[in-house]
Amino acid sequence: MVAAASVVVAVGTASGMLTALDDRRGSDEAKPEVTSTPYLAPLPAVPTPSASPSPRQGASASPSPKKKPSATPTPTRTEQKEQDLTAFVSTRLYRHPESQVLDWVRANGADPRQAVIESRIADQPAALWFADFTPSTITSRVRAVTSGGVAQGRVPVVVAYAIPGRDCGGASEGGAPDLDAYDAWIDAFAAGLGSGEVVVILDPDSVAQADCLSSGERSRRFASLARAGRVLKAANSRARVYYDAGHSGWNSATKQAGWLRQAGAASAASSDGVFSNVSNFHRTSDEIAYDRRVLDALGGPAGLGAVIDTSRNGNGAPADGEWCDPSGRKIGRAPTLSTGEARIDAFLWVKLPGESDGCKGSPGTFSPSYAYELAR
């Protein structure tokens, strides 16, 4: 397997991702959004990590990256600053009140790492993954998230991750059993979107990793993805749907745009643009340049934009291509819908920092030592 963005645990097992399992609500303390982001000095090391809590039953894990190795150039002075960007909470994005990191923060007030993990990770709005194929509950679970966003006047980010044959049968295998079942699951997913603003990340890896499919399989998948975008946007006119552009160290912009066009990403009826760097580590500046090349090659309406996962890219990607909880990584730019960058609609935390890729803990579970390493 090359270049996949993710690894998920088996359906029905415990997980560390943010997830909407019920209609519980929690308060979300608003903090002021800033137009210029101050920098924080590194914090001291903290000894003796405590055990992470048992993950919540019934959740699905947010994926971890497996990526095509690519050289990481020596960062510029500006790029080096990305690792220290302070994590101020966006007042526009929704933070779901249930997650493993929040569980750990609430249960470990005496841990010397708690304040850093809370302020720099737990307080941040992050995406919620729907990675298990559960047709009977998917509508109510999505609705729990979108209604929570409406109640707070904020924008949730949800990840639909159920494409058949995902990860080409690798560690993230799962999803719907076939495309007909996937189409029906998308219909049910869309029924939970409500009428408020919502960002939908449509199936990470589904386009960038399509090399493993035959030409016929690829065409059928792309047709189903194009349908998915149309269904999602028809269900909620305020839903913004983004398609898989991989990342700057993977396919060329021209190749990726060609596939994205087949998958419906160039049509205003199904797409608002593309996403990149999900669960990955490539620098924001590299992703901005890459996404603009993809959008230029894609064509379509002038309003198409891109969103970038900045959750763990503060130090860029490891030069050796390591994808599994690589050391020396840092959280990146705080989530925001105001990037100040042309054609870049948002910086998002799609992968929650501290959730293991499978090396510092079981896949998808929260590791406080890993979270602290990323945040300090």
Distance CA 344, CA 339 (A): 7
Distance CA 235, CA 190 (A): 6
Tell me the residue length of the chain.
376
**Beta-carbon contacts of residue 289 (< 8 Å; ≥ 6 apart):** 248
**Structure token digits, residue 89:** 């909470």
- In the chain, alpha helices (H): 77-80, 100-107, 114-117, 138-152, 179-191, 215-235, 253-262, 284-298, 368-375
Could you count the other beta carbons within 10 Å of the beta carbon of residue 78? 9
Which residue in the list 103, 203, 205, 325 is annotated as catalytic? 205
Could you count the other beta carbons within 10 Å of the beta carbon of residue 204? 33
Closest of 183, 145, 141 to residue 162, by C-alpha: 183
Q: Look up 296 and say whether it is catalytic.
A: no
Count CA atoms closer than 13 A to 60's CA, side-chain side.
26
Which residue in the list 123, 167, 272, 325 is annotated as catalytic? 167
Distance CA 62, CA 190 (A): 20
Report which residue type is found at 255: K
Q: Look up 111 and say whether it is catalytic.
A: no
**Beta-carbon contacts of residue 37 (< 8 Å; ≥ 6 apart):** 85, 86, 88, 333, 334
Distance CA 333, CA 328 (A): 16
Could you count the other beta carbons within 10 Å of the beta carbon of residue 181? 15
Q: Look up 167 and say whether it is catalytic.
A: yes
**Beta-carbon contacts of residue 59 (< 8 Å; ≥ 6 apart):** 14, 15, 16, 17, 19, 21
Distance CA 17, CA 193 (A): 20
Which residues are the active-site residues? 167, 205, 357
